[in-house]
Structures are given as C-alpha cells and as structure tokens.
A and B are shown apart, each in its own frame.
Chain A
Amino acid sequence: MWLWFHKLGSPPHFYRTAGRLIPWFAIPAALLLVAGTLGGLVIAPADYEQGDGFRIIYVHVPSAYLAMFGYVAMAIAAAVGLIWRMKLAFAFAAACAPVGAAFTFLCLATGSLWGKPMWGVWWDWDGRMTSMLVLLFLYLGVIALRGAFDDAAKGDRAAALLAIVGVVNIPIIKFSVDWWNTLHQPATLSKLSAPSMTMDMLGWLLVMIVGHMLFFAAVVTLRLRGEVLLRERGARWIRGVDGRA
C-alpha cells in the first residue's frame, strides 16, 4: 500500500498514470452528458408548475454539488499536503481551485437564469444563492493568495492553510446566511427549489450528476498533469515527454 502510494507520488509515474486515466473519465462523461442533456431537455416531461423553465436544474444542481465538493476536496488535499508534505497534494489543490470556482460561477449563473422567470429579477437574496456567492469569494481568495506569492512552494502552503480555515468556516457562514435568510424571507417570492420531481425527471438528473462528476474528474486530472509539468520543469524526466499522453 505504502509502496503504491509512494510510487503514485513520484511525478513521472503519476504523469503517465494520469494520462491513461483521462479517457476513462472523459469518454463516459461525454456519453452521460449527451444522454442526460437529451433526456433532461427533450424526454423528461415539463413541470406542471414551472413549465420548461425547471429544466435548467439539470445543470444547476450538479454545479452546486461540485462547487461544494470541489472546495472540500481542495481542503482535504491541502491538509494532506501540509501534514505529509506531499507535493502532489498541493498540485491537486492548485488544479482543483479554478475548476471548483468555475462550477460555483456556473451554479450562480444558472440560478440567476432560473430566477428571472420565477422572481422577475436576475438576482434575489435567496439563502442558497448568497451562500454560493460567499463560496465563490472563498475560492477567489485561495486562488488570489496562491498567485500573490513569488515563491510557488510558499504560495502552496499559504493557500492550503487558507483552504483549511475556509472549510472550518463554511458551516458557520452557511448557518448564518440561512438564519439571515429565514428572517428576511419575503412571503410573495417562491424559493429556488427543486420542484416535486417525478421519477423520469429524477433519473435524468442522476445521469447528469454522474456525468458532471466524471467531467470534473477529467478536467482536474488534465489540469493536474499540467501542474505537475509546471512544477517539475527542469527535471530530467520531462525531456522524455513529447506532449502526447
């Protein structure tokens, strides 16, 4: 086990393994996303209350899920990096942050598009949307802090510590925003919530969630390979890399 762990941790070995893994993530991701999109947009019945407007849920919910998953994964990698001084874990955290931030943004954007027909405005201070906005700020803080350091190793450690501080604070922030939201909830507006879904709606949502997760894995692995190349520039094994997987 430890030997395997150690071997995976060696950059050249990891680089090759990751290259072989990418198709195993990317191809099922593409199939599931195409199937889920067709299923969600065409096959699934329209919601009796929201009509076709609800269909954005097939992107919105998986994005929200990955936005949170991405931050937690980044914080766990950061902790592993700080505790066991594993460089690959820092590279993972660095690869994960922009992808997670992109999904957070996607979640906010789709939420806003969904909100327009429902609320009549592009933005409403809905509790979940506000929490997502703060999550986006936390992501941006981690990315900005890593970028501000000239010394990459130092930036990695600082950003890792911030990610851990952030993950401790997220439940508190979430609680406070929910609390704030229930106090100021205007009665007339309906909340962004999943409509009561029938099985044929829900099935396609599950397909989309798995598809998004595999897509996330493929993109992070791809970025991680890039990070490894960037961090190992100057190492001898790089000269054998010809740019193809």
Chain B
Amino acid sequence: MLELRDIAVARSERVLFDGLSLGLGPGDLATVVGPNGAGKTSLLRVVAGLSRAHAGSLQWRGRPLEPGDPVYGRERLYLGHQPGLKADLSVSENLRFLLELQGAGFDPEALETCLAPLGLGGLAHRPVRALSAGQRRRVALARMRLCGSLLWLLDEPLTNLDVDGQALVARWLDEHLAGGGLAMVASHAPLGTRHPGRRLEVALGR
C-alpha cells in the first residue's frame, strides 16, 4: 500500500542517504533505526509529506503522492517530536480539534475510555499547560486510538514515557497491526511489540 522508490533525503542540500526502496502492506511494521543525524526524522517527515524527497517517489494505494492529498491526509497519522497541542486549551479541546481537522468524528465517551489507560482519566478538562512532558506525550498518543488512521508514522513515540506508557504503546501497535494497519516507527529503544507480522528494519547511516 505504501511504496517508497529510490528515495533520497537531504538536509540543507546535503544528501543523508539515497536509493531507499520499501513496500509496506497491511500488518507490516517498519522500524527506522540509526545513529543521531542519520536522517530518521527527515525520512519520516518525507513519508508524512511535510518535506520533499531529494529524489525518488512515494505511492499510497498505487497512486503517486502530491502535497495535500486528501485521501492520504485522512488515512495517515503523523506524530512528530512536538505533540501539536495548544497549551491554553484543555486536553479534550485539543483532541477534539485534531480529530475534527483529520475529518474524524468526536465522541466524548470514546475519549474517556481512551484517556483512562493513559493515566489521564479525569484530566480531560485540565489545560495542557498544566501537564508534564510525559503527560503531553500521552495526550498526543491518544490520537493513535481515536483517529482510526490506517498508517501510523511515529517519530520516537517512547520519548518521555515511563515503563507503563512504553508497554501501552507496544500493545496499541500490536493491536493496530493485527487489525491490518501499517506503521513506520523511528525509535532508539526497542519497541517491545509481539505482533508476528512482517517486520522490516530500515537501517540508516551505515
């Protein structure tokens, strides 16, 4: 479904790597590993559609991707380094906006059941400013459950998370893959997923 062909990624006109080809189908997990500066974040940003590839092409569902593709916009979820939350708004206001932006419906009950395992139960109306870095990360992760996206692009999802949080990410990833989802994850730490599906490792900077 997701097809990368001869992708080259550059930062400030310096080519970080080239000739990367990769195909992901339902249930596949691609982990992107490599030392700092190898281009993990740059690759995920290119796949997400935030940056342009230096060379090569991207396809989703057999069609070449253009910036602002609405189908890809609905089906792809990107979680970057910054959680994308407004500090002055509450947890539920933030999530509601992000869901409506994505074109997904907002259901207050689904929100409550999603926040409880994240340890955010009862914090839905707290402003994001009052949360710790780890709690903000957890709010951003809640979108994984609520958006219903097919392709997850996660950049260091375990940052700032405690052991419980990391286990939760692994469990959600497993469920997502088992349900036919796709994921591409850049992470320094092992993800701890158990899903038996196809796993690819993209090793950069070797």
Contacts and interface: CB of A to CB of B under 8 A. Distances in A.
Q: Report if A and B touch in the complex (beta carbons < 8 A).
A: yes
Q: Contact residue range for chain A?
A: under 10
B188 to A, nearest CB: 25
Q: Chain A's interface: helix, strand, loop or mixed, by majority?
A: helix
B109 interface: no
Contacts of A152: 12-13
Contacts of B13: 151-153, 231
Nearest to A152: B13
Interface string B8-35: 0000110000000000000000000000
A231 B12 CA distance: 11
Contacts of A150: 12
Nearest to A154: B12
Contacts of A151: 12-13
A231 B13 CA distance: 9
Contacts of B12: 150-153
A152 B13 CA distance: 8
A231 B10 CA distance: 14
A231 to B, nearest CB: 8
A238 B13 CA distance: 16
A40 B183 CA distance: 74
Nearest to A150: B12
Interface of B: 12-13
Interface of A: 150-153, 231
8 contacts: A150-B12, A151-B12, A151-B13, A152-B12, A152-B13, A153-B12, A153-B13, A231-B13
